Amino acid sequence: MDNKNKAKPSGNIWTRLELWKKILIGMILGVIVGTVMGPDAEILKPIGTLFINAIKMLIVPLVFFSLIVGITSMQDTNKMGRISLKAIILYLGTTAVAITIGLGLAALFTPGAGLNMIANNPDAIGKEAPALVQTLLNMIPQNPVGALAAGNILQIIIFAIGLGVSLALIGEKAEPAIKLFESLAEAMYKLTELVMKLAPYGVFGLMAWVAGKYGLEVLLPLIKVIAVVFLAALLHIAVFYTGMISIVARLNPIRYLKGLSNPAVVAFTTTSSSGTLPATIKASREEMGVSKGVASFVLPLGATINMDGTALYQGVCALFVAQAFNIDLATSDYITIILTATLASVGTAGVPGAGLIMLSLVLTTVGLPIEGLAIVAGIDRILDMARTTVNICGDMMVSILVAKSEGELDMDVYNSKEPAAGAPSVAEVKTA
């Protein structure tokens, strides 16, 4: 197909443009059209709603199948069990740190302050939030089919984990089911790709509506949201991940930062952890010396369940929405956000825009207005670039930590490459 395209470029300039460029154009045009049309731009909203509905259609099967496949990809040996446990604990722990950083920076910079937005049904706000204990109890679905039908993501995650682990435990008998889930997961990734083709138009409709309704002033806080998410992402990678590499694994963090550059660029541009997986595995093995066994298990699992960047973004956006709608959050709300975003990020598929869908889950769990989602949707691609990059950097950090602790890290490979020009050599860093 590539060859054909090269021989004879088909379609007009628009159809040949990369998706993210189309989305950016959709967003800019939306803002312009919305500003010109004012409140009349509401007639364009259905285009956005169509897109949001199509995305919502994906969420339940995508989470369910991709999580099961992530879990069944582990092999049932003792070592694998130990490696899984280490990886899962590290994945969840680092995610909770990520969201705390996101919440902290959003509280510090208050990107939503002064927006004074009003929700459609203000009475519902704050009252919907279930108590923390109830949230925890509700995580276990009494009826998994009901959970799937109702789209209760936390319950779906718990059931998928249980089913996945059981499939892994029954060995040969699970093979047909695993094959079926693998092929359904593949199909859902494809469907997601197709739905994402609607994104430029959907974002156009949403941005036109938002800009028309709230005016250009709504954009300034959005720039602030972008700045806060990028700053949090940078801190998480440059301080927390490198800290874990140097303090916990006792390795040169410069090598880690250098080794992740290729997959980071792929993640930044494709905004898909799953799509970046080949690059992540290659870099972990060839640049960092992670063994084949650890890389081929820990990284796909990470691409499915470890989304530090997504959690961090959900923290920032939840606070942004609360600030924009002047809603005060209690301490228990913050804890609920941390818990829900950690679990929601587990259920987020490693595909473009999946985090935005999960944001609706976090917002509803703490009783924040869902309209906030529409505002963030316009800049979601830009935020997705930062969060996907964090997501895969986190996967690689955990794969190195796990490999090191299992004696599965080839130190010669890890230390072999020349550091980038101007960077201190391995020896210098070690003696420092």
- Chain residues in the site for ligand ASP (CB under 6 A): 271-273, 307, 310, 348, 350-355, 384, 387-388, 391
Cβ 162 vs Cβ 170: under 8 Å: no
Dmax (CA) of the chain:
66
C-beta separation of 319 from 107 below 8 A: yes
Residue 31 near residue 219, CB atoms below 8 Å: yes
- Residue placing its CB nearer to ligand ASP in the complex, 258 or 381: 381
Q: How far is the CB of 387 from ligand ASP (least distance, A)?
A: 5
**Minimum distance of ligand ASP from residue 310's CB (angstroms):** 3
Closer Cβ to ligand ASP, 322 or 354, answer by number: 354
Cβ of residue 351: shortest distance to ligand ASP, in angstroms?
Answer: 5
Instruction: Rank residues 208 and 312 by Cβ distance to ligand ASP and give the closer one.
Output: 312
Residue least distant from ligand ASP (Cβ): 355
What sections of 8-77 are H helices per DSSP?
13-16, 19-37, 45-72
Nearer Cβ to ligand ASP (272/340): 272
Looking at the Cβ atoms of 255 and 387, the one nearer to ligand ASP is 387
Q: In the complex with ligand ASP, which residue's Cβ is closer, 211 or 337? A: 337
Q: For residues 168 and 281, which CB has a smaller minimum distance to ligand ASP in the complex?
A: 281
DSSP string, 213-269: HH-GGGHHHHHHHHHHHHHHHHHIIIIIIHHIIIIIS---HHHHHHHTHHHHHHHHH
Measure the CA–CA gap between 64 and 185, rounded to whole angstroms.
8
Q: Which residues of 336-373 are buried (b: 16+ CB within 10 A; e: fewer)?
A: bbbbbbbbbbbbbbbbbbbbbbbbbbbbbbbbbbebbb
Residue nearer to ligand ASP on the CB measure, 235 or 249 = 235
Question: To the nearest whole angstrom, how small is the minimum distance from the Cβ of residue 349 to ligand ASP?
Answer: 7
- Which residues, in sequence order, are CB contacts of 203 under 8 Å at separation 6+? 23, 26, 27, 30, 48, 51, 377, 378, 380, 381
Shortest distance (Å) from residue 355 CB to ligand ASP: 2
